[in-house]
Structure 1
Amino acid sequence: MANKIMIAENSYWVGKVDDRKVPFHRLILEKGTTYNSYLLYTEKPTVIDTVDIMYGAEFVKNLQEIIELDKIQYIVINHVEPDHAGGLPALVNKAKNATIVTTEKGKELLIGMFKLQDKKFLVIKDGDTLDIGGKTLKFFETPYLHTEETMITYCIEDKILYPCDLFSTHVATYELFDDLASEDITEDFAGYYKLIMHPHRPYVRDMIEKIKDIEINMIAPSHGYVLRSNAKKYIALYDEMSQKVSTDKKALILFSSMTGNTAKIAQYISQGLNDMGVETNVINTKNADLESILSLAEKSDAIIVGSSTKYADMIGNIEDTLKEILKLDLRGKIGAAFGSFGWSGEAVEILNDYIRNSSMTLLDTSFLVKTTGDESIKLPLRIRFSPDENTKNICIRAGRVIGEVLIKQ
């Protein structure tokens, strides 16, 4: 396969085909894969994503046969995992004039992974644009697809979407374009989605919402085929596969709220669980019937308990309610704690201790990391004062992650 393949005017594939049986996320990719990188040879030459770290030196050698590396002005990193950002250290050390373009979290991770403190960064936010001389790039943050820092890049003039892992296939193709494939790629396309993206389907929905009004003629992902025959078809497949699914899982969310802040957190957690297809019952224990609560607790797969903090303790009757629940047989259920606070926030830790000493499995940060690999949500969930837009999203995200744990049970 050539070192470069034109995908649009002044835009080239400059990646690597890996036709081995590739180890990947505890699996073996029987059909291999590709690491797709792209060079936009404009007035301000720009590289979008790189290749796997084991091919970094080869990538740079091939690239410098196409362009003088000092001419490269920007290196866009949509996703920092080593199969996409692995060629960055070798490239940025040769491309002395290049600025690395990524999200705030992406910058933090790249510096931590590759010790790039002395390199130039351009941190983008959702909707930012960048003029690269003859072409304009627009960026969309797509967190948790499938890690926290991810974004996608859209070339306005070419109408090409560069979505990194999204819309990928794990096939070591030498044809590159989907319309040149020797067989229908739909099964491989759907298989990749189910393996990598389906656990994050609420965020796929968010991504689809962001790109729904954009004219996209081609999708150039970071693995497998460049989709030029019918981009709308593949977006529609993601839309279809990511639709909300119903599960038989149920969660009971109990709370006692002093000024309404903890009540808001409860509703946002419920929203996240609903996004994952988990049925929820959200109950303020202040005026609730204890027998009804105990009946729901017996039928629920998760019991999530919250309280505001007052005088370093829980408020209302949440403690008495929880003590009654803990008399039930709770084996096989999961439990988590949350709450709002103004100064110290002890109530959440007290609730957490109750759950830890019960027959339920306590969902805390350590458990989440071991079961989902997600380090972005800290449990028990403590929110200071009233949730703002950022902490609202954290609460929704917490609900989604708890839902992911439930579905995996």
Structure 2
Amino acid sequence: MKKYEIAPNSYWVGYVDDRKVPFHRLILEKGTTYNSYFLDTEKPTLIDTVDIEFGRIFVENLDRIMDLSQLAYVVINHVEPDHAGGLPALMNKAKNAKIVTTALGAEELKNMFKLHHREYIIVHDGMKLDIGGKTLQFFETPYLHTEETMVTYCIEDKILYPCDQFSTHIANYDLFNDLAKEDIMEDFNVYYQLIMHPHRPYVQDMIQKMRQLEIQMIAPSHGYILRENVENYIDAYDEMSQEKGNKKAAILFSTMTGNTTKVAKVIAETLEEKSIEVRIVNVDKCDMESILEVVMESDMIFFGSSTRYGDLVGHLENVLKELKNVDLSSKIGVAFGSYGWSGEAIEVIHDYLKELNIKAVDSSYIIKATGMNHIQVPIRIKFKPSEAEEIILNKVVQTLGDLLVG
């Protein structure tokens, strides 16, 4: 491994993995790179490491090009093992280095790599760090693509180090996009769709922050460093993450005391904020033909019921039975409800959805689609939603809406 200069006193020191690489249940046919960057300043700083599989060789190579005992900071934008995997081996040599990351990132690094004894600098949005000759500024970018993620910007160099964002999975020794022997845009778009698109509202948040910076180069965690037509790549993320309209949702429910109605209204209001057209239908006050018509016109259907003596109330179960012979393969189904004790009706609804020809969404589905492990589906509300529960419910429904408009 050599160091390759990307800006004055700033170097690529990563690792090229030109195998067919297993990654997120895929095989990267073109391999990938694990990009790490060394800023040789008065306070020498490393931005991210490499995959855990190559941690030892990474540190051995770093040891040849610098005195690791002089390393002042290690910036960790993202704690997944393909970014932070070289950290344990590195910190064994870099005895004086402080780890720079988000609060959640610090907790995850401590638990993942047993680095409780190291000193951390906890980043907050917009914070700056003087590393002697260069100034780094940090921005929190949660869920791009995990909750602890942040990006780093070097003010003097006008370089954005955006972690997974703006990456491509291509093993290459050319380093820069303008030296690539083929058009990388297709690989760039595929990476976005697989990794970033499930989190597109957060992409939009990130874009708004990045628009305030003067960016002349983007140095991501994988693939090519972008130094030509940089704005085009930012515009591509902006365009691909825009919400698409013309989607419809239906909320079908039965209720006893009106609490499930309140939940249905919160769901509807949240979906409408995302420009999704919503129909709310109390199935106890509507004929089956009309209900089926609403179902067939909708892209996402929420099925809700109160719980009475461990069972559904009203006519919702009849609707679910009727739908067993209907083609719902293009639609998304979600169970919800209000309850006073254990709320069995919500689980019964979800069991029905799993038997129907519909994409039945639950927490497992959300984790596999987005990586978010804090979204609880089916939606369960005890009695009527409190103010705090409405905030949580809003976030859950926003995530479900994102599945639809994507």
Structures share fold, TM-score greater than 0.5: yes
Correspondence 1:116-195 to 2 at 5 A: 116-195=115-194
**Measured at CA, do residues 264 and 44 of structure 1 come closer, stay the same or move farther in structure 2, by a change above 3 Å?**
farther
Contact preservation (8 Å) 1:298, 1:328: no
Tell me which residue corresponds to 1:398: 396
Q: Which residue of 2 aligns with 1:290?
A: 286
Mapped to 2, the partners of 1:306 and 1:324 lie a distance apart of: 13
1:281 and 2:278 correspond: yes
Q: 1:346 to 1:119 in 2, by over 3 A?
A: farther
Within 5 Å, give how 1:47-66 maps onto structure 2.
47-66=46-65
Relative to structure 1, is the Cα distance of residues 9 and 280 closer, same or farther in structure 2, using a 3 angstrom cutoff?
same
Q: Which amino acid aligns with 1:378?
A: Q
Runs of 5+ consecutive residues of structure 2 not aligned to the other structure = none
Can you list the C-alpha shifts for 1:277-323, whole angstroms capped at 9, x where unaligned?
xx44163859x95346665345445433568x9xxx78xxx943645
Is 1:385–2:381 an aligned residue pair? Answer: no
CA distance in 1, matches of 2:252, 2:124: 34
Q: Number of matched residues?
A: 387
Cα displacement string for residues 204-259 of structure 1 (whole angstroms, at most 9, x for unaligned residues): 22211221121111100011111112211111121222222357663437697669
Change (3 A) 1:82 1:165: same
- Structure 2 SS opposite 1:358: helix
- With over 3 angstroms needed to count, the CA separation of the structure-2 counterparts of 1:57 and 1:299, relative to structure 1, is same
Q: Secondary structure at the match of 2:387?
A: coil
CA RMSD of aligned residues (A): 3.4
Q: 1:356-377 deviations in whole A, cap 9, x for unaligned?
A: 3534566433443356543121
After superposition, the Cα gap between the structure-2 partners of 1:212 and 1:23, relative to the gap in structure 1 and judged at 3 Å, is: same
Counterpart amino acid of 1:235? Answer: I
Corresponding residue number in structure 2 for 1:320: 314
Distance in 2 of aligned mates of 1:298 and 1:27: 34
3-state SS, counterpart of residue 82 of structure 2: helix
Indicate if the aligned counterparts of 1:270 and 1:282 stay in contact, CA closer than 8 A: no
1:73 & 1:304 partners in 2: Cα distance? 53
- Indicate conservation of the 8 Å contact 2:267/2:397, yes or no: no
Report SS of the residue matched to 1:92: helix
What is the TM-score of this pair, normalised by structure 1?
0.81
User: Measured at CA, do residues 296 and 373 of structure 1 come closer, stay the same or move farther in structure 2, by a change above 3 Å?
Assistant: same
Structure 1 contact 168–225 (Cα < 8 Å) conserved: yes
Report the equivalent of 1:355.
349
Instruction: Say which is worse superposed, 58-67 or 297-306, in terms of deviation.
Output: 297-306
User: Which whole-Å CA distance do the structure 2 matches of 1:228 and 1:71 have between them?
Assistant: 30
- TM-aligned CA deviation for residue 405 of structure 1: 5.7
Question: 1:18·1:35 contact (CA, 8 Å) conserved in 2?
Answer: yes
Alignment match of 2:302 (pick from 292, 301, 304): 304
1:294-353: CA deviation from partner (whole Å, max 9, x where unpaired): 65345445433568x9xxx78xxx9436456445425746222266xxxxx747834423
Deviation at 1:168, TM superposition (A): 0.9
Label 1:258 to 1:126 Cα distance change in 2 as closer, same or farther (>3 A): farther
Who is 2:41 aligned against?
Answer: 42
Aligned 8 A contact 1:34 1:170 in 2? yes
1:260 to partner: Cα distance? 10
State the alpha-carbon separation in 2 of the partners of residues 338 and 74 from structure 1: 50
* 1:6 alignment partner in structure 2: 5
Q: How does 1:30-109 map to 2 (within 5 A)?
A: 30-109=29-108
Residue 270 in structure 1 maps to residue 266 in structure 2? no
**Which has the larger displacement, 179-188 or 248-257?**
248-257
Deviates more, 1:51-60 or 1:13-22: 13-22
**CA distance in 2: counterparts of 1:323 and 1:24, whole angstroms:** 42
Amino acid corresponding to residue 385 of structure 1 in structure 2: S
Letter in 2 for 1:349: G
8 Å Cα contact 2:198/2:369 also seen in 1: no
Aligned CA distance change for structure 1 residues 281 and 48 (closer, same or farther; 3 Å): same
Name the stretch that deviates more: 260-269 or 138-147. Answer: 260-269
- Return closer, same or farther for 1:129/1:348 CA change in 2, 3 Å cut-off: farther
Question: Does residue 372 of structure 2 align to residue 374 of structure 1?
Answer: yes
Identity of aligned residues (%): 53
Residue type of the partner of 1:283? Answer: I
- Deviation for aligned residue 1:397: 4.2
In structure 2, C-alpha distance between the alignment counterparts of 1:372 and 1:305, rounded to whole Å:
22
CA apart distance, 1:172 = 1.6
Letter of the structure 2 residue corresponding to residue 296 of structure 1: V
Residues in 1 aligned to 2:95 and 2:269: alpha-carbon distance in whole angstroms? 46
Q: Which amino acid aligns with 1:120?
A: E
Closer, same or farther: CA 363–225 of 1 in aligned 2, 3 Å: closer
Q: Distance in 2 between matches of 1:136 and 1:56?
A: 27
Residues in 2 aligned to 1:115 and 1:67: alpha-carbon distance in whole angstroms: 25
Secondary structure at 2:112's aligned position in 1? helix
Specify the SS of the correspondent of 1:64: helix
Change (3 A) 1:353 1:171: closer
| SS of structure 2 residue aligned to 1:65 | helix
1:364 equivalenced with 2:362 (yes/no)? yes
Distance 1:154 1:227 in 2: 14
Residue 145 of structure 2: SS of its match in structure 1?
A: coil
Is the Cα contact below 8 Å between 2:260 and 2:304 reproduced in 1?
no
